[in-house]
Amino acid sequence: MPFGSLCDPSIALGLLKAGLNRAGISCAVRYFTFPFAAKIGAQLYFELANGTPRLTALVGEWLFAEALWGPGRLDSAAYVEEVLRDRGRGSRSDDFWSSHRFAADAPEREEFIEEVLRAHVAVAPFLDDCIDEVVRRRPRILGFTSVFQQQIASLALASRVRQALPETFLLIGGANVEGAMGNEVVRQFDFLDAVVSGEADAVFPQLVLRVLAGESIEALPGVLTRQTLSLADEPSTAPSNEQNGFVDLNALPYPDYDDFFQQLHFESDVAPAPVRVTFETSRGCWWGAKHHCTFCGLNGLSMAYRSKRPQRALDELMALNQRYPGRAISVVDNILDTSYFRTFLPLLRDSVTDLNLFYEIKSNVSKDQLRVLRDAGVICVQPGIESLSTHILRLMRKGVTMLQNIQTLKWCRELGIDVAWNVIWGFPGETARDYEQCAALVPLLTHLQPPGMRAPIRLDRFSPYFEQAQDFGITNVRPHLAYEHLYDLPAPAIANLAYFFRFDYADGRQVHHYTAPLLEQLDAWAQNHSTSELLYVDNENHLSIRDLRPAARRPHHVLDGLHREVLLACDRVHGVAHLEALAEKHGGPDTLPGVLADLIDAGLLLTEDGHYLALALPEGSYSRFTLRDRD
C-alpha cells in the first residue's frame, strides 16, 4: 500500500512470494502504490514517500486516517494547523520544516498544503478501486507489508476487505508491527486475523498452509492473534532455526519481483526516478550488536548479524541481474560484512558484470577497501558519517573520529564513489563548542561531497535513547504530535503504536541556539561545492597545488622537502610519531612543528589529538563528477 516506494520492489514481498511458490502455493503481489501515485501525481507521491516536509509529520499516514476511522472522528483542520503549519502544542525536538523547499517560503508551504488536501480527497475513490480489485480476485488470504508510512492505508483497506469478504484471512507484517507495536495492533483492530512480528520468511509459508487446511496457527512463533495475545508479555519474534534463532539467509529463495515490473510496465509514467532491484547480503548490524548507536532504532528486535556465503550472494545477484537486466541494484543491508572485502567483492569484480550497486558501510574503511568496492561496481556508499565532531561521534557510539569521516569523504571523491551522508544534531551531552569547531572546519571541505540532508536526531523506538531515556538525560518522552491525528485511541494505545517520539532534554537545552552557525556553513558548502577544487600534481621534486575553495588562503602552492613529504604521507590519517620518523630523513625532527603549522595555516592539513590528514586530492580525482556537478 502507499506510501511504499515507486522505485524499488519490496524485498519482503519478493521473498515471501518466492517462499510460497517454493511451497507450492499460488500467490500474487499487488502494488497499489502505482495507481495512487497516478491519482495524486507522481512528484507529490515521491515527496511524501520520502518524508516531505519531515518524516515525523507522517503526511502519508494522515491522508488515510479518515478512511480508517470514518468522517468526523479526527480533526483534520487541527492536523493541518498543528503539524503541516508547524504550530503544534508543546516543545518538540524538530520544530522546523527540514526541506529547503519550505524553509523560508511561506507561500510555497501553503501550495504544498493545498496539494496534500487535494490528495486527501483522492483517497476514498482510490480505496474503492482497491476493494473492487480485491473482490474480483477473492483471495483466500490477504497480507499487507507495513513499513514507515504504510500502516494506516493498510488498515483502511483491510477493514473494507473484512466487510466485503468476511471469509478472507487478513494479516499484516513488517517493521510497523514489531514487538509492542504488533501487540497493540492485535488489540485495537479486530478485523485483522493475525499479525506477524519479526522475520516472516520461514513462518509465513507454515501459517498459510495451516490457514488453507483450517488448522490452528496459535503456536507459530511470532504470530500474534487475539487468542494468543497476553497483556503482560512481550510477543516473541519469528525465528526460523533453532541453532541461532534467526533466518538462515543461505536457505532463502531468490526474491521474485515479476509482479512489480509487470505492473510498472503499465504505470511507467509514475516512477519519477530510476527503478532499482533490491537485494540483500546480510541482516542485522555487526557494529550495533557490539556498540548500539545511541540514536538508531533500525533492526528492532533483530540486531544479530548474519550474512550470506559469498558464492551464494554472487549467484543470487547474477540471477537477479539476468532476470531484471539493466537495473541498478540497491543493497538493503544495514552494514557491509567486512569479510566481503576479501571474498564477495573480489568475486563480483571478477564476474565481468557491469552493475551499479549501493552499499552501507562503516566510515573507518581503508583506501584499498574503497578501491575494492569501486572495482566491484559499487558506485554509491552510505558510510554513516552523521557528524564532523569526534566528541559528538563518541556520544553516538560511532567508533570513528572526525578525521576518519573526512578521510572517507576525500577518498570517495578521489575514487569516483558517490557518498550519501547526513549531518544530525541534538545529542545529549553535545556542546556549543562542538558546533563552533564544526562550523570553522566546513569551509575547508567545500571540494568534498556535501551532506545530502541535515536534521535533528529523532527519538525512534528500539534505540538506546528510547529504551534508556533517563540515563541519557532525555525526559518527557511521548509520541510525535502527528500520531494524535492518526489514531482515535487512548493515549497509552497510541504510545504503543508509535515509532517516532518527541522528548525534552533534562537540562533544558535549546539546541537551535548553538547549531545556527554550522547550518549556515553547510548551506555555503552546498552552494560552493560545484566550483571548489583542491588538487595537486606531484613532480617528485615538488608538489604543485591548485586551491579554488572560497576559503583558500591563496590559489596556488608549491611544496618541496618535508612540506611535500608530510602532505603526501597524510593522504591517510597519521599520528605525529609517524611524521617524526619521516622528518628524521628530511631536515631533522626539529623542523616538523613549523612544517605542520605552515600546512595547517594554509588550510591544506587538518589536525586533531596529535593526528593529521591532508585535504588535497591528486589531479584527475573529479573526472567522474565534473559534468554532473557543474550542470
pLDDT tens for 30-67 read 999 999 999 999 999 999 999 999 999 999 999 999 99
CA-closest candidate to residue 116, choices 161, 58, 160, 155 = 58
pTM for the full predicted model: 0.92
- Res. 624 pLDDT band, cuts 50 70 90: very low
Tell me how far apart the alpha carbons of residues 88 and 82 are, in angstroms, rounded to a whole number: 4
| Interval 126-150: pLDDT, tens | 999 999 999 999 999 999 999 999 9
Helix (H) or strand (E) holding 468: none
Handedness of CA 314, 318, 324, 326 (dihedral sign): positive
pLDDT of residue 529: 96
Question: In residues, how long is the chain?
Answer: 631
Q: Which three cell numbers stand for residue 568?
A: 603526501
Contact criterion met (CB below 8 Å) for 40 and 119: yes
pLDDT of residue 626: 39
Q: How many Å is the Cα radius of gyration of the chain?
A: 26
Give me the residue label for grid cell 483542520: 77
Confidence check: pLDDT of 629 > 50 = no
* List of E strands, 561-628: 574-575, 605-608, 611-614, 617-618
Confidence check: pLDDT of 95 > 90 = no
Residue 301, phi then psi, degrees to nearest 5: -100, 15
Give me the residue label for grid cell 492473534: 225
* Pairing verdict, β 328-331 and 306-307: unpaired
CA-closest candidate to residue 482, choices 48, 87, 57 = 57
Confidence check: pLDDT of 231 > 50 = no
Handedness of CA 595, 601, 603, 609 (dihedral sign): positive
pLDDT of residue 238: 58
Confidence check: pLDDT of 101 > 70 = no
